[in-house]
Structure 1
């Protein structure tokens, strides 16, 4: 603990006043970071190698079957591969410790990276929608519905295996990049199931009046899948912008922090006055401003309170930094932090 120019929130609530911040170092923090980085790389490699195999198989099948639905899936997966490759290269940066020159480390850079990924996926999706609309206007194409249905059922099964494997390692680490990859595989699984069922159902419509839509069915399915995928990158971009502009997280997150810390503060005869919570990339920064009920602050009790609060928050959140900031009052009742 010490008095220093505030590095916790540049340009934030504290401005350039000085703080008395209690933020003890954890001796095991380096080991935990290394373990998280290790498992994050494992998850990204699984996603990369599985994605490469899927893209090759889907491209070959799209050429063989002349299916736009399968081609759309292949192009979308190929765009994802570029991002995964960059993620593997940049992952060590995201685990670099904070410093005076980089108060947030490289957390903000991760948010920028996710925004770039989101806009790239949106561009690919809109391009595929436009291409399929053009084919529809040209009279559509005939494809083997049974063949495509069987192929997509196999892809769905393989996607589920990859997803389960990634979720197994995800229990030992958490980051926006990993969560985006897992969400992407969920979408792939659901899309493959949807395509398989749609083409399977079309087989039974061959001898009905609905057979007239057969030449257009492949493009219709491709457009529906693209529209289904579109909200994914839009949500990623929105969350990343919240991080870049240091907006507070969702109300539920702040309320949870208050619920956990309020009781502990009361137990140690302190009153919480302000909760400064922001999320940058994968890390959440929690600064709890409190006021003592007496004129004396015991460093021993403050350490006990910090440890108890840190343990309680750790059961709810994964990657965060906790700071306790005493708030004092001047004689003229103007509040000031040291």
Structure 2
């Protein structure tokens, strides 16, 4: 958890630097695409700060008012990130189309190329650094947070290629095309961001809407079907959902006649179920109840 929070804080500070430089250079060079990159980075910084707060709350596990913990905040923050990126992409798309219709924009290509070259290197370097660090941390928040660095790296690379091409065009008979590069690039960037939006929103919305995870549900049913064959189990009902990094599983078991069974034996069945699921207690909220009355299955 400490490493997760440290990585998120570091990421927020780095992204704030990228945002400030991007906004300043965007205004200086007159490039809407660079200005957009800076604004995207600024929004990403705010989201990262929310992730830091969320990571701290999750570390507390529960409080008097939130007795089931704070894990539900994780998909909420990720959904917020996806929505913000989607709104920014839509704004960029509209601005790009407007720029094309109005005859393009004049850009100071020297400063723009230098900016794009520098931040292509910085963004890709930091993305791969965090990806490697997260192989040990195994944080969902860090993983989705790192998507913003990959998106920003692609933005910078796109800027570098496009501005270089536009600069070369100014030395040819096709110099009239150069002003159209910046708004056209804005349109391409906006469209390229949409898959990242979907990648963030799809799992987080599923968690928020309490959609049962197919793989986890299948694993629970497989484990319970094996238990039925070994113990005096007549029937069972199971319920599964993901809540951020926590998998919540509730199983109600209808037992047959059990003469002289001890609580230790029921606890042993719980342990067997958890072992069958192959999940640590830190990642699993498991509730198993035993009954002789079928009405308690539902």
Are the counterparts in 2 of residues 46 and 166 from structure 1 also a CA contact under 8 Å? no
| 1:255 match | 218
For 1:39-58, list aligned pairs within 5 A.
Answer: 39-58=3-22
Match of 1:287 among 242, 247, 250: 250
TM-score, normalised to structure 2's length?
A: 0.80
Structure having the higher helix fraction is 2
1:183 corresponds, among 147, 162, 165, to: 147
Partners of 2:224 and 2:153 in 1: CA distance? 40
Aligned with residue 319 of structure 1, among 260, 267, 283: 283
- Aligned to 1:279, the other structure's residue is in SS state strand
RMSD after superposition = 3.4
Alpha-carbon distance in 2 for matches of 1:84, 1:103 = 25
CA distance in 1, matches of 2:256, 2:129: 51
Change (3 A) 1:105 1:315: closer
Q: Secondary structure of the equivalent of 1:321?
A: strand
| Other-structure match for 2:48 | 84
TM-fit CA distance, 1:229: 1.7
Assess, with a 3 A threshold, how the Cα gap between structure 1 residues 276 and 57 changes in structure 2: closer, same or farther.
Answer: same
Aligned counterpart, 1:275: 238
What TM-score, normalized by structure 1, do the two folds share?
Answer: 0.72
Measured at CA, do residues 285 and 211 of structure 1 come closer, stay the same or move farther in structure 2, by a change above 3 Å? same
In structure 1, what is the Cα distance between the partners aligned to 2:232 and 2:83? 49
How far 1:41 moved relative to its partner? 0.8
Which residue is equivalent to 1:65? Answer: 29
The 8 Å contact of residues 127 and 150 in structure 2, kept in 1 or not, is answered as yes
Tell me the residue number matched to 1:336. 296
The equivalent of 2:88 in structure 1 is: 124
CA distance in 2, matches of 1:196, 1:89: 35
SS in 2 for 1:306: helix
**d(CA) in 2 for partners of 1:103, 1:109:** 14
Where in structure 1 are there 5+ consecutive unaligned residues?
Answer: 1-35
1:271–1:174 CA distance, 2 compared to 1 (3 A):
farther
Q: 1:206, CA displacement in angstroms? A: 5.6
